[in-house]
A and B are shown apart, each in its own frame.
Chain A
């Protein structure tokens, strides 16, 4: 491998944001015809590194070389011109234009109508055959599935003669089957001499697709290893700096159904999928896991359980009673503890103190307020209790919550929910982006709450997490809910088929 041509070289890249060092002396080389996996937890510095490569940020120190030529710092477009193509996590496509138009967009002057269109189409068709990227050039992008849109993004890069392809978390939005198709494409690309950087934090994909792995942690390169000379455990250790093990809790003992949905439908909101006749029963002493590719109705279900939306049709029952006037306040009164998906935007108020955030859900009632007056002494004592019990690392209860790391913020939100003594707990992506210590702690708290008799709904895109923690599993696809599967009764591949929409009786 060492003999092969180096196509991209990063040397000594350092980037600081205030006190935070996002990249610390990062350097590596990418060779022709290789798939290099860039691995790291959220916040490890992967995205910053790519932004430097593409000139969106200027590094404080270090150089970037593409095919032996140094890239000018801070010049977006230089990397593109040098043959580096990037497929972002969030696609940059115009939905009301066709696939071909999207690919051509920006490659030619606006006032050259139609010229060379036939040639361009032939080239796109050729590329999609060569690389196994089946997609119709005249289809409007908005009618395409997520997997197809990603193919358009890759075609776009290839059409611009990219020789180096960077994929940022490409499988985050794909079903396991779509991911496999993507890996086939990558193999074909490599066979044609392209070089690929594959950014991910999913270990099994990295071992499946890459030739070499580089692990980033806290902005530094902490490991570099050939994929065939290592295994997932070793890589995981490098990523987190310690042996990682998912918990293996014993099965819970299910009790009465505390919350039931019967044939519940909700309308789609904007481009968000609604619920389609969902029937679900959350039982005391049980963790119900909800698997699925994000954007398939999990958001609507979470909003329904938290009280933000009410059923459009169908019935929502809490403790055996049909609810009327469902709202966040009604949900809290009914004993629903909520851990929202986005702890920054929904779960907390950045410029409020820990004390103010700790009473966000309970501020309107005693002991935190009486007759319209806040009792800040009680509120501060409550916050101090959570900080102590849930080990929230912070300067104190009067510090603004924006100063906290994601893990500590999540612990405060978790403590806020659990200290209210919830009977039903909604945990929506509770450990996303957390470091290993906080992650394990949050999972243990959820298991403890289950053992104490709470009904837990765990929503996660991480199939491994769902399979390890849940007593029963449902899969969501396009707003529909699969039947209940006991833990261990389905393989990941079988769950993947449900995620792709196979097996539902009312096929779309």
Chain B
């Protein structure tokens, strides 16, 4: 058995195989539901209903997708340049931290506070990734290791702050920060519904990233560096500088996830602000084949499974682990589908 490249994959191949991957995911998830003693069709129905069956459910899915769009974009931008940023989680918390600092300590009026928090968050996230990328460009230090480890450093750092200087005196002893004032929160898109403007910002970011990639010299440089750094260097593209710019963009996007979660949803900073949005962002970006607009779709898909599975498990008494397994299965099948889009299996 060997793999042979397909020179120009047809439309059936590029669309059919990913569809098949989704179908295979559904089969596996159903089998798991059966193992847990539930009716697979009912389970599936409950997941869909829980994710999109009502206005409330659909908005909840959009809310859950918002940070995933940001972290997915952060990962997609970096991976496009073959910069393996595994540290979106740390950048997210850096953004959240700056949001809370500006929002609670400066006493700025709302219309000034919101952009100030966003900008500070972006700068902090960019700065967090700047260190690892400089180490990579200057000294050849593997960024997978440095960005991954930075996640733990950042969480411990936040934990220290929440137990110490940032601890909310009115927090009944819980490790959480003070909440930012009401007027510094992101407004709701529709009054009375839980969806905030962070989602709008995420959609705008996806379009902006897409425009950068296809229309600007920076996007061209990023793609060239990612595809073939040797040819890029020969062609006068400053590879190191492009890596740094990519890192600033990627770190900034991940930090916006933290900004949006704090300023739009939670109001304060806690250690469970992100249930691994930074890591799930990698799955989202890979499912989207690193395409910035695809990130929006795959973030909605992943968020839908999580929200739907939550509600399903309450109704059908099937553990929520089925959501994690489904997302992981979807990723594995999708990676396989992508491989089979570009290669065909030949015997001998």
A residues with a Cβ closer than 8 A to B are: 17-19, 58, 60, 74, 306-308, 327-329, 331-332, 338, 340, 345-352, 356, 360-361, 363-364, 369, 372-374, 376, 403
Contact of B234 among A18, A306, A351 (CB under 8 A): A306
Contact between B4 and A369, CB atoms less than 8 A apart: no
Q: Which of B8, B216, B221, B348 is the one whose CB lies under 8 Å from A58?
A: B348
Residues of A within 8 A of B235 (CB): 328, 360-361, 363
Q: Does B14 contact A (CB under 8 A)?
A: no
Assembled-state Cα–Cα distance A150/B233 (Å): 34
- Answer whether residue B335 sits at the interface, using C-beta atoms and an 8 A cutoff: no
Of A19, A329, A374, most buried by chain B (CB within 10 Å of CB) is A374
- Map CB proximity to A onto B216-253 as digits: 1 under 8 Å, 0 otherwise: 11111101100110111111111000000000000000
Q: Contact: A349 with B236, CB < 8 Å?
A: no
Which one of A17, A328, A360 lies within 8 Å of B224 (CB-CB)?
A: A360
Neighbour of B231 across the interface among A18, A332, A360, A403, CB < 8 A: A360
Which residues of A lie under 8 Å from residue B237 when comparing CB positions? 360
Question: How near does chain B come to A309, taking the closest CB pair, in angstroms?
Answer: 11
Q: B6 to chain A: closest CB distance in Å?
A: 8
- Knowing A308-B234, A332-B236, A374-B216 are in contact, say whether A352-B227 is a contact too (CB < 8 A): yes
Q: Determine whether the beta carbon of B217 is less than 8 Å from that of A349.
A: no
A349 with B232: CB separation less than 8 A: yes
Return chain A residues, CB-CB under 8 Å to B7: 18-19, 403
Most B CB within 10 A of own CB, among A19, A332, A352, A376 = A352
Complex: A18 Cα to B223 Cα, angstroms: 28
- A345's partner among B8, B223, B231, B348 (CB-CB below 8 A) is B231
Q: A58-B348, A364-B236 are in contact. Are A373 and B231 (CB under 8 A)?
A: no
B residues at A contact (CB < 8 Å): 4-8, 215-221, 223-224, 227-228, 230-238, 348
A349 x B216 contact (CB < 8 A): no
A360-B232, A374-B217, A374-B220 known, 20 other contacts, Cβ within 8 Å: A18-B4, A19-B7, A74-B348, A307-B236, A328-B234, A329-B236, A338-B234, A347-B231, A348-B231, A349-B224, A349-B227, A349-B231, A351-B227, A352-B224, A360-B224, A364-B236, A373-B215, A373-B217, A374-B216, A403-B8
Chain A residue at minimum C-beta to C-beta distance from B228: A349
* Cβ contact within 8 Å between A17 and B236: no
A-B contact pairs, 13 of them (CB 8 A): A18-B5, A18-B6, A18-B7, A346-B230, A347-B234, A350-B228, A360-B237, A363-B217, A369-B217, A373-B215, A374-B217, A403-B7, A403-B8
A363 and B234 within 8 A (CB): no
Give the chain B neighbours of A364 by CB distance below 8 A.
Answer: 217, 236
Determine the chain B residues whose CB is within 8 A of the CB of A351 once the complex forms.
Answer: 227
- CB neighbours of B238 from chain A (8 A): 329
B residues in contact with A363, CB < 8 Å: 217, 220-221, 235
Residues of B within 8 A of A356 (CB): 220, 224
Taking the closest CB of chain A, its distance from the CB of B233, in whole angstroms, is: 7
With the chains together, A319 CA to B230 CA distance in Å? Answer: 28
**A contact residues around B236 at 8 Å (CB):** 307, 327-329, 331-332, 361, 364
Residue of A nearest to B224 (CB): A349
**Does A373 contact B232, Cβ atoms closer than 8 Å?**
no
Q: How far is the CB of B150 from chain A (nearest CB, A)?
A: 30
B217 touches A345 (CB 8 A): no
Partner of A308, one of B6, B216, B218, B233: B233
CA of A73 to CA of B228, assembled, Å? 36
**Top 8 A-B pairs, shortest CB-CB distance:** A360-B235, A328-B236, A329-B236, A58-B348, A349-B228, A369-B217, A346-B234, A349-B227
Query: CA A372 – CA B211 in complex, angstroms?
Result: 12
Give the residues in chain B near A18, CB-CB below 8 Å.
Answer: 4-7
Q: Least Cβ distance of B324 to chain A in Å?
A: 33
A397 to chain B: closest CB distance in Å?
15
CB distance from A341 to the nearest CB of B (A): 10
With CB as the reference atom, state the residue of chain B lying closest to A60: B348
**B216 proximity list for chain A (CB < 8 A):** 372-374
In the complex, are the beta carbons of B234 and A340 less than 8 A apart? yes
- Which residues on the A side are within 8 Å of B217 (C-beta)? 363-364, 369, 372-374
The CB with the most chain A CB atoms within 10 A, among B4, B231, B233, is that of B231
Docked complex Cα distance between A19 and B224 (Å): 28
Chain B residue nearest in CB terms to A359:
B220
By a CB distance below 8 angstroms, the chain B residues around A348 are: 228, 231
Residues on the A chain within 8 Å of B5, using CB: 18
A346 to B231, Cβ gap below 8 A? yes
Tell me the bound Cα distance from A349 to B223 in angstroms: 10
Q: Which residues of A contact B4 (CB under 8 A)?
A: 17-18
Residues of A within 8 A of B215 (CB): 373-374, 376
Assembly CA distance A328 to B239 (angstroms):
12
Q: CB-nearest residue of chain B relative to A307?
A: B236
> A345 to B348, alpha carbons, bound, how many Å?
28
| Nearest CB in chain A to that of B4: its residue | A18
Q: Which residue of B lies closest to A348 (CB)?
A: B231
The distance in angstroms between the C-alpha atoms of A32 and B218, with both chains bound, is 63
Tell me how far the C-beta of A449 lies from the nearest C-beta in chain B, rounded to whole angstroms: 20
Residues in chain A near residue B234, CB distance under 8 A: 306, 308, 328, 338, 340, 346-347
Distance in angstroms from B343 CB to nearest chain A CB is 10
Q: Which residue in chain B gives the minimum CB-CB distance to A333?
A: B236
User: What separation, in Å, do the CA atoms of A132 and B215 have in the docked complex?
Assistant: 64
Cα distance A58–B230 in the bound complex, in angstroms: 34
A73 shortest CB reach to chain B, Å: 8
Chain A residues with CB below 8 A from B224, complex form = 349, 352, 356, 360
Once bound together, how far apart are the Cα atoms of A170 and B25, in whole Å? 53
Closest to A351 in B: B227
Residue of chain A at shortest CB distance from B5:
A18
Q: In the bound complex, what is the Cα–Cα distance between A366 and B39 (angstroms)?
A: 64
Contacts of B221 in A (CB 8 A): 363
The verdict on A345 contacting B228 (CB below 8 Å), with A18-B7, A19-B7 known, is: yes
Closest Cβ of chain A to B190, distance in Å, is 36
A307–B232 alpha-carbon span in the complex (Å): 13
Cα–Cα distance between A345 and B231 once the two chains are bound (Å): 6
Q: Chain A residues near B231 (CB, 8 Å)?
A: 345-349, 360
* Docked complex Cα distance between A340 and B228 (Å): 15
Specify which chain A residues have a CB less than 8 angstroms from the CB of B219 in the assembled complex.
374
* Residue from B220, B223, B237 with most neighbouring chain A CB atoms (10 Å): B220
Q: How far is the CA of A100 from the CA of B217 in the complex (A)?
A: 56
Bound: A154/B8 CA distance, A: 43
Minimum CB–CB distance from B75 to chain A (whole Å) comes to 20
Contact assessment for A345 and B230 in the assembled complex, using a CB-CB cutoff below 8 Å: yes
Task: Report how far A373 CA is from B221 CA in the complex, Å.
Answer: 12
Closest B residue to A57 using CB positions = B348
Q: Kindly list chain B residues whose C-beta atoms are within 8 Å of the C-beta of A361.
A: 235-236
Complex: how many Å from CA A345 to CA B236?
Answer: 15
**B172 shortest CB reach to chain A, Å:** 52
Cα A17 to Cα B7 with chains together (Å): 11
Q: How far is the CA of A372 from the CA of B218 in the complex (A)?
A: 7
Give the CA-CA distance A213 to B5 in the complex, in Å. Answer: 34
- Residue among B7, B215, B235 with max Cβ neighbours from chain A (10 Å): B235
Chain A minimum-CB-distance residue to B7: A403
Could you tell me the distance between the alpha carbons of A308 and B237 in the complex, rounded to whole angstroms? 11
**From residue A359, how far is it (CB to closest CB) to chain B in Å?**
8
Cβ–Cβ contact A350 & B348, under 8 A: no
**Contacts of A19 on B, CB cut-off 8 Å?**
7
Task: Give A330's nearest chain B residue, CB to CB.
Answer: B236
A350 and B227 contact, CB distance less than 8 A: yes
- In this complex, the member of B4, B221, B237 whose beta carbon has the largest number of chain A beta carbons within 10 angstroms is B237
